[in-house]
Chains A and B, each alone.
Chain A
Amino acid sequence: MGKEKYEESSSDEEVNSSSDVVEASSDEEVESSSDEVEASSDDVESSEDESSSDNEKVEESDSSEDEVAPRNTVGDIPLVEWHKDEEHIGYDIKGRKIKKQPRKDKLASFIEGADDPKNWRKIYDEYNDEEIELTKDEIKIIQRVISGRTPHAEVNPYEDYVDWFEYEDKGHPLSNAPEPKRRFIPSKWEQKRVANLVRKIRAGLIKVSDQNKEEEHNVYSLWTDDTDSVENKKRGGYVPAPKPKLPGHEEAYNPPVEYIPTAEEINSYELMYEEDRPKFIPRRYLNYRSVPAYDKGVKESFDRCLDQYLCPRTRKKRINIDPESLKPKLPSRKDLRPYPTTCYLEYRGHMGPVNCISVDPSGQWLASGSTDGTARVWEIETGRCLKIWEVGEVARQICWNPSPDRPILAVVLEYDVLLLNSGMGDIDIQTKMKELLHISEPGATEDAGDSKSAVTWIQHEKHDGIRMKHFKAVSSIEWHFKGDYFTTVVPSGDSKAILLHQLSKKHSETPFRKLGIPVTAVFHPSKKKFFVATKKFVHVYDLSKVEKIQKLETGVREISSISIHPGGENIIVGSKEGKMCWFDLELSTRPYKTLKVHSKDITRVTFHRTYPLFASASDDCTAYVFHSTVYSDLNQNPLIVPLEILRGHKPEHGRGVLDCKYHPRQPWLFTAGADSIIKLYCH
């Protein structure tokens, strides 16, 4: 019962609130009707099953009612107030007034209601000004809605749950377990993995290939010519067969007259080569049917087929480089004149290979030493031999004193170094030289400090000079530019390998210890520096402090000769394998340039004192002349230009040119050959 009460109250409120129409009619009426609805609700419920068969009808009527358009068209206006005094309640669809129904007075309607048992089902529709009689089904629906149930009785809100799949006895892994939480949150491990990939991509460890592009390439153009595409070029340049020529007017059955060759032209075709001859000669026909079959048709199409699949149509990659452009840009030889080119003078007289030559600082005389046991002095301008010293042994090296007032020749023999008075110069120079080359007490001047001296200075009676007796074989000699000091190299001398001598004091010392096997040693042309070449390295010493400054790595097997540029910052080194290395001391301790020019040993490299020239002599019987500009600007590298190959010496016992020296003032080169001739090459 409690439940019913609740339903009552709730239904009251609902009806009140839901429809104004009911309210508008009259309060009593509604109350009464609601009571009746309430009263009949039980009936409705009980007859649920009965009415289920009428459902379709109800629905039909519902739908049909919906289709009936409302007659009144005034819209949603307060009709009670606005049309209270009017005779019409609105307008129909055609604009005609809809008359109000004659209003029944309350008494009549009450009586009528009391008589009519269906009165409680009637509702006044104010909008259309008519009374509507609700059907039983509609009442039932209303009652069910009011009572809070589903409008239709056949709907069962509490149906049995039926699983949407079957799992029992199916051996299927699917479980009915609820979705786990991890399906809905981003994965921690994936996040870590992505972070790792991103880090690697950023670091460049993984290259991201652009996949989109590949997808694009899957779509290819069917009709366009793809020979110029990037892919085609990458594959090696496939070239499609050329398209056959389109037929022109001349191939018409009746071409215009200008296409028809004259008889002369046809005859001239016979004179042409087979390849140049036109393959088709236009002719005129009266009509199309008289055109014969094209006799070469089969052959041409066959040829074309062959051409299409047999001809290797790939684009050959040929690099077209002008060989001239690969050459380094060098100035023309003509602009670098003068340099020695032609041999004009020969100095003949030696009986054996000329080992060494040296030019007097004034440029007037030339000294030479030979294996025939003589040292000679020549007059340069005429080629006359002025003086011969019979030294008795092979003269290995000869060297003029660079000082012009000391015309002294130093000649290296096997163990001895002879200091000879050349006899040049005027009388007072001669007297000075005699004093200088005189040793008062023979054997008295010895290397101080050493019990066993490396060098003994002895007066040489025969040639009026000084004989310096070394303890081991001497290989080279070099004067200091001032002409008082000189150095001799004793390759097998261990700690006494490099000897420094002072001529005026007749004194010798060995300032450099712990060297390898030195080959040659030279003085810096202006500074107090000293260069010692061992077999593979050149050591640069500071003479004032007696310490090593630099060590130059030549990279050659065995150094044979070394020469210092007059500027003092560049040196060239010749090796026994025919290589020449140019060092820029301010640039590096490695060669600035290595020139592989000679096929045999380089015997001598030498710089010109004033001209920008240097030269190399080799056992392959050639001497090379090079131009070398050394710029004072430190940013500019030295310019080295090969200029001339001087040939002319003949090989003798496998040896060629043994020495070369430049004239001190002229761009002339002297070469001493194993064929016992000295040649002068002039510009």
Chain B
Amino acid sequence: MEPNGSGSDASRQVQARFVTRLPPPLRVPPASMAVPSHLTRFGLSDIVNLLLKNSDPDHENQPFDFLIDGELVRMQLDEFLIAKGISAEKVLELEYVKAVAPRKQEDPRPHDDWVSAVDGSNSSFILTGCYDTFVRIWKSGDVSECTHVLEGHTGAITSAKFIDIRGVENEQNFHLVTGSKDRLLRLWKCDAAKRRGDPIRVGAYKILAGHTSSVQSVSVNPSREMICSGSWDCSIKLWDVKESEEDGDGTTISLKKRKVNSKTKESVDARLEGAATSTLVGHTQCVSVATWPDPDVLYSASWDHSVRQWDVPSGKETWTMVCGKALNCLDIGGEGSALVAAGGSDPVLRIWDPRKPGSLAPIFQYSSHSSWISACKWHPRSWFHLLSASYDGKVMLWDLRTAWPLAVMESHQDKVLCADWWKDDSVVSGGADSKLCITSGIEIQ
């Protein structure tokens, strides 16, 4: 216990103790020690690595991030303490976590046209939708191997989602849904069997018609039996996909059938035709996103500047929040899977807490982008991490505990149109440079 140096600032020290929730090999002794206060997270990271090397000579240096009172240190330690008004007299508890940063940039998967939709919810496949009207499935691991090409749409794909995310290990077929600017949704069934050679051409087994304008987004509900879609015709339609599967029985529909929209065209074969079970009307402009995170609750964002929460059984909207900007993307996640992250026609990524009473002001605003935000996604397991993609060609990783992006991925040369997490540690993004970029090695506990 040395007294703090009162001479030059460089020698000023603070008492700190390093704690962590990481597994034992990465734990340092909990004794408090004096650290120079001008250190940044890199210096602190060196100290932790040194301590770890003392206990374990085989330890490999790795970057850490440091939290003080639940906030990430993003400047010099003394500046941080002054900015947050924390006393330097007490022993600081520095919690260290593994730094979240992309470590590996995989080769981009080339496409024929702009990549407008991507889904990484399946750990073995990546689903991409493209402006050339094709939907592609890419297998993990192998470089630029496209396993399936789904043909049938006549317009650009705007959204593509896995319906069931069972992997290839059980050798089952998996189902997909895609939405397109040709006003239709298509359901696909793919064979997940491993095969070499040319990609398999697949046709849709069912066409869901009903939207009168471009479908902008498709989302699958948690029970994997329903999907919802938002469209330029200002409506959200709910579709039952369980009954359409051959092996599923139509009687086990959890939702009551409401008004069936029967504006389907005779031009499409009736056998392939599917109709919406319900339509949620309320938005006045293009519904750009509709997500279905909870069995009973559906969120939608629209160009009419509003985010709406819908109660699915009653079809009523329960919460409306007007943010003043046309919204392009929306995701629900974070703490208790309740925070709403949305971005739109300005460079600010905003996060709201619908549970907070009386206030519709965003609780977080991140404005490091320089153009429209085209996609935002919460990390599937972390409460703090989310990614955002923007027309300025950047994909950014965010932690709610700091106002600066954790990482900026500038792998695209043009607008990024879509982005998603993949396998918890990778980010897949597609853009107007016709590439699907995969950034992996992002360790998030």
Residues in A lying within 8 Å of B, measured CB to CB = 337-338, 342, 344-345, 362-364, 381-384, 426-428, 665-666, 668, 682-683
B20 at the interface (CB under 8 A from A): no
B267 at the interface (CB under 8 A from A): yes
B48-56, B321-329, B349-357 - interface stretch: B321-329
In the complex where A344-B371, A383-B415 touch, is A426 in contact with B286 (Cβ < 8 A)? no
Shortest Cβ gap from B261 to chain A (Å):
13
Q: Which residue of A lies closest to B344 (CB)?
A: A682
Shortest Cβ gap from A609 to chain B (Å):
13
A364 to B232: give the CA distance in the assembly, Å.
8
Beyond A364-B213, A384-B131, 15 extra complex contacts between A and B, CB < 8 Å = A344-B346, A344-B347, A345-B371, A363-B286, A381-B288, A382-B116, A382-B432, A384-B156, A426-B212, A426-B265, A427-B267, A665-B285, A666-B303, A683-B324, A683-B325
Q: Which residue of A lies closest to B417 (CB)?
A: A382
A303 to B247: give the CA distance in the assembly, Å.
117
Q: Which residue of A lies closest to B392 (CB)?
A: A344
19 example contacts (A-B, Cβ-Cβ < 8 A) are as follows A342-B346, A344-B347, A345-B371, A345-B391, A362-B213, A362-B232, A363-B303, A364-B232, A381-B288, A382-B415, A382-B432, A383-B415, A384-B114, A426-B213, A427-B265, A665-B304, A668-B345, A682-B372, A683-B346
The reply to whether B432 and A426 form a contact with Cβ atoms under 8 Å apart is: no
The reply to whether B303 and A665 form a contact with Cβ atoms under 8 Å apart is: yes
Shortest Cβ gap from B327 to chain A (Å):
11
Q: Which residue of B lies closest to A342 (CB)?
A: B346
A666 to B345: give the CA distance in the assembly, Å.
10
A634 to B366: give the CA distance in the assembly, Å.
45
Which residues of chain A come closer than 8 Å to B326, judged between CB atoms? 666, 682
The reply to whether B432 and A364 form a contact with Cβ atoms under 8 Å apart is: no
Which residues of chain A come closer than 8 Å to B325, judged between CB atoms? 683
Closest 5 CB pairs of A and B: A682-B345, A344-B371, A344-B372, A426-B183, A666-B326
Which residues of chain B come closer than 8 Å to A683, judged between CB atoms? 324-325, 345-346
B159 at the interface (CB under 8 A from A): no
In the complex where A363-B285, A364-B213, A382-B432 touch, is A338 in contact with B324 (Cβ < 8 A)? yes
Which residues of chain A come closer than 8 Å to B415, judged between CB atoms? 382-383
In the complex where A382-B114, A382-B417, A383-B415 touch, is A682 in contact with B232 (Cβ < 8 A)? no
Which residues of chain A come closer than 8 Å to B267, judged between CB atoms? 427
Shortest Cβ gap from B339 to chain A (Å):
25
Which residues of chain B come closer than 8 Å to A383, judged between CB atoms? 391, 415, 432
Which residues of chain A come closer than 8 Å to B131, judged between CB atoms? 384
The reply to whether B346 and A682 form a contact with Cβ atoms under 8 Å apart is: yes
* Bitwise interface map of B from 380 to 399 toward A, beta carbon under 8 Å scored 1, else 0: 00000000000100000000
Residues in B lying within 8 Å of A, measured CB to CB = 114, 116, 131, 156, 183, 212-214, 232, 265, 267, 285-286, 288, 303-304, 324-326, 328, 345-347, 371-372, 391, 415, 417, 432
Which residues of chain B come closer than 8 Å to A337, judged between CB atoms? 324
The reply to whether A344 and B391 form a contact with Cβ atoms under 8 Å apart is: yes
Q: By DSSP majority rule, is chain B's interface helix, strand, loop, or mixed?
A: loop
Which residues of chain A come closer than 8 Å to B324, judged between CB atoms? 337-338, 683
Please pick, from A338, A364, A428, the residue contacting B286 in the complex, using a CB distance under 8 A. A364
The reply to whether A345 and B214 form a contact with Cβ atoms under 8 Å apart is: no
The reply to whether B265 and A384 form a contact with Cβ atoms under 8 Å apart is: no
Which residues of chain B come closer than 8 Å to A338, judged between CB atoms? 324
A682 to B345: give the CA distance in the assembly, Å.
7
A338, A364, A381, A428 — which one has the most chain B CB atoms within 10 A of its CB?
A381
Shortest Cβ gap from A239 to chain B (Å):
58
Which residues of chain B come closer than 8 Å to A426, judged between CB atoms? 183, 212-213, 265
Shortest Cβ gap from A51 to chain B (Å):
140
Which residues of chain B come closer than 8 Å to A428, judged between CB atoms? 265
Shortest Cβ gap from A199 to chain B (Å):
74
The reply to whether A364 and B214 form a contact with Cβ atoms under 8 Å apart is: yes
A382, A383, A427, A428 — which one has the most chain B CB atoms within 10 A of its CB?
A382
Q: Which residue of A lies closest to B212 (CB)?
A: A426
Which residues of chain A come closer than 8 Å to B212, judged between CB atoms? 426
The tally of CB-CB contacts under 8 A between chains A and B is 57
Which residues of chain B come closer than 8 Å to A382, judged between CB atoms? 114, 116, 415, 417, 432
A683 to B348: give the CA distance in the assembly, Å.
12
A129 to B329: give the CA distance in the assembly, Å.
153
In the complex where A344-B372, A364-B232 touch, is A381 in contact with B328 (Cβ < 8 A)? yes
A383 to B131: give the CA distance in the assembly, Å.
13
Q: Which residue of A lies closest to B234 (CB)?
A: A362
Shortest Cβ gap from A92 to chain B (Å):
128
A382 to B285: give the CA distance in the assembly, Å.
17
Shortest Cβ gap from B375 to chain A (Å):
12
A683 to B288: give the CA distance in the assembly, Å.
18
Shortest Cβ gap from B313 to chain A (Å):
30
A358 to B417: give the CA distance in the assembly, Å.
25
Q: Which residue of A lies closest to B414 (CB)?
A: A383
Shortest Cβ gap from A164 to chain B (Å):
114
Shortest Cβ gap from A423 to chain B (Å):
10
Shortest Cβ gap from A597 to chain B (Å):
26
A364 to B233: give the CA distance in the assembly, Å.
11
Shortest Cβ gap from A358 to chain B (Å):
18
Shortest Cβ gap from B368 to chain A (Å):
15
A426 to B232: give the CA distance in the assembly, Å.
12
B213, B286, B345, B346 — which one has the most chain A CB atoms within 10 A of its CB?
B345
A402 to B371: give the CA distance in the assembly, Å.
30
A382 to B212: give the CA distance in the assembly, Å.
20
A591 to B324: give the CA distance in the assembly, Å.
34
Shortest Cβ gap from B53 to chain A (Å):
48
Which residues of chain A come closer than 8 Å to B345, judged between CB atoms? 344, 666, 668, 682-683
Which residues of chain B come closer than 8 Å to A384, judged between CB atoms? 114, 131, 156, 432
Shortest Cβ gap from A336 to chain B (Å):
13
Which residues of chain B come closer than 8 Å to A427, judged between CB atoms? 265, 267
A426 to B325: give the CA distance in the assembly, Å.
28
Shortest Cβ gap from A148 to chain B (Å):
132
Which residues of chain B come closer than 8 Å to A364, judged between CB atoms? 213-214, 232, 286
Which residues of chain B come closer than 8 Å to A666, judged between CB atoms? 303, 326, 345
Which residues of chain B come closer than 8 Å to A342, judged between CB atoms? 346
A362 to B216: give the CA distance in the assembly, Å.
14
Q: Which residue of B lies closest to A337 (CB)?
A: B324
Which residues of chain B come closer than 8 Å to A665, judged between CB atoms? 285, 303-304
Which residues of chain A come closer than 8 Å to B214, judged between CB atoms? 364
A426 to B211: give the CA distance in the assembly, Å.
9
A383 to B431: give the CA distance in the assembly, Å.
12
A665 to B345: give the CA distance in the assembly, Å.
13
Which residues of chain A come closer than 8 Å to B114, judged between CB atoms? 382, 384
Which residues of chain A come closer than 8 Å to B304, judged between CB atoms? 665
A665 to B372: give the CA distance in the assembly, Å.
18
Which residues of chain A come closer than 8 Å to B285, judged between CB atoms? 363, 665
A683 to B346: give the CA distance in the assembly, Å.
8
A683 to B328: give the CA distance in the assembly, Å.
15
A427 to B268: give the CA distance in the assembly, Å.
11
Q: Which residue of B lies closest to A429 (CB)?
A: B212
A337 to B324: give the CA distance in the assembly, Å.
9
Which residues of chain B come closer than 8 Å to A344, judged between CB atoms? 345-347, 371-372, 391
Shortest Cβ gap from A3 to chain B (Å):
140
A337 to B267: give the CA distance in the assembly, Å.
47
A665 to B304: give the CA distance in the assembly, Å.
8
Which residues of chain B come closer than 8 Å to A345, judged between CB atoms? 371-372, 391
Q: Which residue of B lies closest to A364 (CB)?
A: B232
Shortest Cβ gap from A97 to chain B (Å):
131
A344 to B345: give the CA distance in the assembly, Å.
8
B156, B326, B371, B415 — which one has the most chain A CB atoms within 10 A of its CB?
B326
A338 to B325: give the CA distance in the assembly, Å.
9
Shortest Cβ gap from A36 to chain B (Å):
147
Shortest Cβ gap from A227 to chain B (Å):
61
Which residues of chain B come closer than 8 Å to A381, judged between CB atoms? 288, 328
